[in-house]
A = this chain, B = another copy of it.
């Protein structure tokens, strides 16, 4: 099982991401704290891994980093209860939810979808698969991100508004979850722009770190 899940990028068919799941991050973008999870999709074609570069999409003038904990789903399920939710977690992944903030700001203003702002090619840099047992407490682990060696984000998953079991249960009421799908659980405060040539380094506790260049 876990050995197939290491291939989640090929196996999975969707990435369900959660917006504003940390209070301080909702506040820094001037948004209210949500009463229910804000969900959006990124396509699996947006995945890249170390060695591949983050590309600024055409006409984007404000590409932001967001470091997030990703959940890799181990088996198919619908209407999963919170009590059962952790049985559907096969492992984790460290991820960047790269965001064309100017596209997103325009979409928000016009009431249009976020898909282009969030789903462009290279918008989902990810680490290798992290086995479930390696991360004993996903609800209390440090998430950090540096740009050119300066720390920009440094938070803990303990500050999530909606917990991992709650998110799995809520999402699966609407979206059937399938083996290899990934849930991105939101980003702590400190998001900001990156430019051509910048080096982004991110880490999850002392478990894993990864490095990507923007071009």
Contact = CB atoms under 8 A, between A and B. Distances in A.
Contacts of A115: 16, 39-41, 113-115
Report copies per complex. Answer: 2
Interface string A103-146: 00001110111111011110000000000000000000000000
B45 A175 contact: yes
A38 interface: yes
A57 interface: yes
A43 B58 contact: no
A64 interface: no
Interface string A10-53: 00011010010000000000000000001111111110000000
Contact of A176 (B42, B111, B112, B121): B121
B44 A13 contact: yes
Interface residues of A, number: 34
Contacts of A114: 112-115
A66 interface: no
A78 interface: yes
